[in-house]
Amino acid sequence: MIDPFGRHISYLRVSVTDRCDFRCVYCMSEDMSFLPKAEILSLEELERVCTTFVNLGVRKLRMTGGEPLVRRNIMWLFQQLGRHLESGALDELTLTTNGSQLGKYAQQLADIGVKRVNVSLDTLDPEKFREITRWGRFEQVMEGIAAAKAAGLDVKINAVALKGVNDVEMNDMVRWCGAGGYDLTFIEVMPMGDIGGEMRFDQYLPLSMVRAELQKQWTLKDIDYNSGGPARYVEVAETGRKIGFITPMTHNFCESCNRVRLTCTGTLYMCLGQEDAADLRGPLRASEDNDLLENAIAEAIGRKPKGHDFIIDRRRKSPAVGRHMSVTGG
């Protein structure tokens, strides 16, 4: 699959549910309204769509949410998609998780063929963790990370940089990840969805400032490493681990975008930061063969935009994109 700008689309991120057991302040309002079950694709339908994308050339699948591991019987979907790893049709099957359910599922994921997981963790302070996630339990996430490591999974920590919240912890995060053997990625906050009174401009911390602060304590070397996502990486000489920087605001990564995103309702977003989308649920349910589905996918890829239009400033009171990150897939 090649988009209008010559980019090969080889990476599909799939939000298997919009539900989550956390309510992170930069992602959701505390009083969220979730999609009715009738609108959600069944696990069998999700498997069929994912397999169609693999047949069309996707080499990497990432399960997201919400929190993907709270979806009932989610291991069935991983098991079904794992066969594409065995056949060689798929290079990687992975997930992004808040870590709350990893203690339960880490070994099963490893047995299926998952090699690595991304765990969202914005602070090492249990009290601050509770404030950021509203509902999360820090100890449960730490137990999940330990279970993933014990199962042989590579763990990468994703931390959203939040001004006035975790900006004083960046060096501690680097040190902790180095000691634990985890890579670390910092992410700029994105203007998506109403978050219940929180001002994103006040949360926003440019990663150029984060990197400048880290360089006072660590030796950072730019490296030519690509995990398949949008991060630009450095190696920390003192720990031997990698740090990624995802900068949708200060330096977008659109020129190399190889990704599209499928929601749990069967809506395909060709760009995280644009509202244009394609309905795949209709053609999926209209026919038992995949001709209509494949045609809908091809039409959608044919209008993938060049890039997003994220802006954060005090003059824009509403988010750049109305849907929450949990709807599209984090």
Q: Which of 2-6, 78-82, 101-105, 220-224 has the lowest mean pLDDT?
A: 2-6
Evaluate if pTM is beyond 0.85: yes
The pLDDT score that the predictor gives to residue 269 is 95
Segment 105-126 mean pLDDT: 97
At residue 150, what are phi and psi to the nearest 5 degrees? -65, -30
- Has domain 11-328 been given CATH number 2.70.70.10? no
11-15: strand order across its sheet: 220-222, 232-236, 242-246, 183-188, 154-161, 116-120, 92-97, 60-64, 11-15, 259-262, 267-269, 277-279
Cβ–Cβ contacts within 10 Å for residue 318, how many?
A: 8
Strand partners, 244: 185, 233
Q: Are 222 and 234 in contact (CB under 8 A)?
A: yes
Question: pLDDT tens digits for 37-54?
Answer: 888 999 999 999 999 999
The pLDDT score that the predictor gives to residue 319 is 46
- Residue 305: exposure state from Cβ atoms within 10 A (0-12, 13-18, ≥19): middle
Residue 197 has pLDDT above 50, yes or no: no
The pLDDT score that the predictor gives to residue 201 is 54
Using the structure block, give the residue that is written with the tokens 């000691």.
179
Cβ–Cβ contacts within 10 Å for residue 277, how many?
A: 17
